[in-house]
Structure 1
Amino acid sequence: MYIVTGGAGYIGSHLVDHLVSRNFEVIVIDDFSFGKYINKKAITIKYDLRLSNLNELINKVEKGGIIYHLAANPDVRTSMINVEEHFERDVKVTLNVMELARKIDAEKVIFTSSSTVYGETDKIPTPESEEPKPISNYGLFKLLCENIIKYYAYQYGIKSIVTRLANITGGRVSHGVVVDFIRKLNQNPNILEILGNGKQKKSYLYIDELIDAFVLLEYKVNTIYDIYNIGNTDWITVNEIAEIVIEEMKLNPKIVYIDAGDGRGWPGDVRFMLLDISKIKSLGWSPKRGSKETIRQAVRDLLLGYKKCCNR
């Protein structure tokens, strides 16, 4: 049995699709605040994981099983504005999920953390051993979640894996720079507003390759607690992403930059991010597409989805 918190969201829904395709029993727990996706072959429980009374969930799931914990507010930018809301959806929810794991004797917990926990570091590519120094509330709260999970792992013997993710994109993605650019150009094809100076440089991984990494870690890692970076071996600038989006949409807009300071797109924006993924590569996983190819495929996925949705 698998439990996927946030299974109606972007990464969670792709994971659920993969698990049910392999005929596993899957229980999705989501309050549908962000994601809306439902796989009819999975058991879906609508539930707000911020609530501390877990009896309703405990009565609906079997003992044991594996928990993929993905429930969170996915927007880094708004974490600097809606601080309490992000705290509850990240930190409080994680505490409750680990309590659930303890009470049902979960076999393993796999948690999606973020590269944002590292903040801006001089060590690039950044290994798991680098001291986290987050510069956003999003990164801070992810780090707090990691420590909660680590505590439960050692205190209660719950095997746990923390995955620190680069930017994940592809079909059905609901937020991020690619989505932002396409939405803006659909609204006004003559102007493209870029947050920051366009020189921010980050790593991108296609969603299917992330799922492959999850599967590998689940089967190969059996230590009580461990951390793995998951990302790409290269990176791409925001300007280069804009060029790909413009090319795929066959437009020629004027570029306008909105700099929040120091070239950032918003307060807490990490300008440069490339993870050292040698640790997970040593287990046999590596990305198949580079960041540029990943972005181009994501743009095509989104444009195709937009055409189907809007009959264009």
Structure 2
Amino acid sequence: MNLEGKKILITGADGFIGSHLTEELVRRGACVTAFVLYNSLNTAGWLDSISNKIRNEIRMVSGDIRDSYRVKEAMKGCDVVFHLAALIAIPYSYESPASYIETNITGTLNVLQAARQWEAARVIHTSTSEVYGSARYVPIPEDHPLRGQSPYAASKIGADQLALSFYDSFSTPVAVIRPFNTYGPRQSARAVIPAIITQLAQGSQKINLGALSPTRDFNFVKDTVRGFIQVAESDHAIGEVVNIGSGFEISIGETAEMIGQIMGVSVEIQSDSARFRPEKSEVTRLYADISKAVRLFGWKPEYGGREGFRRGLEETVRWFTDLEHLKLYHLGRYEI
């Protein structure tokens, strides 16, 4: 399926990955409806920061993914649905697990019900590498056992299984994309890479971090967005779960050192207890097997491996250290 000219709904379009995906689909000639979280200021998250040329091409719909009627109305007439709306902050899921069930599972049900009613041609459901828990073996394939080590991860496992059940039960054309740790411009400073960059950018050489030994497979946002689009375009992805990752594993501590090198700063790391997960909840290792994405539709990371990761970090550092962007963040404050 070529997405040019197709009517597309993106839930969570106002977020980090959603805003990048929205921009790219508009550039590719799709007719995009952006479903954004309603607020009294009538703001649209990161979509407020994109060029007017692109923003004027977007149909904006404000609402709440938990509102089945609003979701159904937004989806009417759409060919393809990219479902990204979710609560994603792991620390906050310890504080408010019920809200994760309502948003991530009930919200997904609303999308699936509407897609079934309107007979959408594609539903791309967003998963997360957190559903695997700490890797039992690497690289992690899609059939690796699932383990919800946080309420967030558990809610995403539930949402993933619900999406796949609609494919099995009703032949709803669902594909599940499972991105590993996406990073890049616009990411929340709650995430580790922006947390490191923003602390260094304000002149701190001593930075506060949590656990340093866990490893992650960091995926640059441009690669993640290409993954979303290629999953949607591929007939072979329907009914499947597909990992999107960089094929490269690196520890949090080594990531901080690499960022320091790029920014020309000698980094000293201080342990901050507020940034640690509960011991049994910490996911100690994530490293993607991406062979299925390569086999099904030829996706490969353009920012893969150590060299690609460094290039992605350099682009990310340039964006965050632009003063117009940096001032959008609450520097020196840890937010869950």
Same-fold status (TM-score > 0.5): yes
How many Å separate the matches in 2 of 1:94 and 1:88? 9
What is aligned with 1:4? 10
CA-CA distance at 1:20 after TM superposition: 0.9
Cα distance change, pair 191–149 in 1 and its aligned pair in 2 (3 A)? same
How many Å separate the matches in 1 of 2:101 and 2:75? 26
- Of residues 231, 241, 262 in structure 1, which corresponds to 2:245? 231
What is aligned with 1:14? 20
Cα distance change, pair 60–214 in 1 and its aligned pair in 2 (3 A)? closer
Please state if 1:67 is matched with 2:81: yes
The unaligned stretches of length 5 or more in structure 2 are 1-6, 48-54, 329-336
Please state if 1:271 is matched with 2:271: no
Please state if 1:215 is matched with 2:221: no
Deviations 1:83-141 (A, max 9, x none): 11222221111111111112211111101101111111221111011121121111111
How many Å separate the matches in 2 of 1:303 and 1:149? 39
- Of residues 295, 299, 303 in structure 1, which corresponds to 2:317? 299
CA-CA distance at 1:62 after TM superposition: 3.6
What is aligned with 1:101? 115
Matched residue SS, 1:182: helix
Decide whether the 8 Å contact of 1:125 with 1:275 is kept in 2: yes
Runs of 4+ more than 6 Å apart: none
Mapping 1:153-232, distance limit 5 Å? 153-175=167-189, 176-186=191-201, 189-196=204-211, 198-222=212-236, 224-232=238-246
Matched residue SS, 1:225: coil
Decide whether the 8 Å contact of 1:117 with 1:133 is kept in 2: yes
Matched residue SS, 1:255: strand
Matched residue SS, 2:282: coil
What is aligned with 1:27? 33
Q: Kindly tell me the number of residue pairs found equivalent between the two proteins.
A: 304
Deviations 1:39-85 (A, max 9, x none): 33110100011123x1x454455435110000001212221222112
- Of residues 37, 60, 83 in structure 1, which corresponds to 2:97? 83
Task: State the identity as a percent.
Answer: 25
How many Å separate the matches in 2 of 1:248 and 1:184? 14
Structure with the higher fraction of residues in helix conformation: 2
CA-CA distance at 1:10 after TM superposition: 0.8
Q: State the TM-score, normalized to the length of structure 2.
A: 0.83
Q: Which amino acid aligns with 2:277?
A: W
Q: What's the C-alpha RMSD, in Å, of the aligned pairs? A: 2.3
CA-CA distance at 1:187 after TM superposition: 5.3
Cα distance change, pair 65–309 in 1 and its aligned pair in 2 (3 A)? same
Decide whether the 8 Å contact of 2:11 with 2:36 is kept in 1: yes
Decide whether the 8 Å contact of 2:72 with 2:111 is kept in 1: no
The unaligned stretches of length 5 or more in structure 1 are none
What is aligned with 1:119? 133
How many Å separate the matches in 2 of 1:244 and 1:273? 19
CA-CA distance at 1:310 after TM superposition: 4.3
What is aligned with 1:137? 151
How many Å separate the matches in 2 of 1:287 and 1:158? 29
Decide whether the 8 Å contact of 1:154 with 1:224 is kept in 2: no
Please state if 1:51 is matched with 2:51: no
Decide whether the 8 Å contact of 1:70 with 1:111 is kept in 2: yes
Deviations 1:138-185 (A, max 9, x none): 111111001111121222221111111111111222241011123334
How many Å separate the matches in 1 of 2:220 and 2:213? 22
CA-CA distance at 1:309 after TM superposition: 5.3
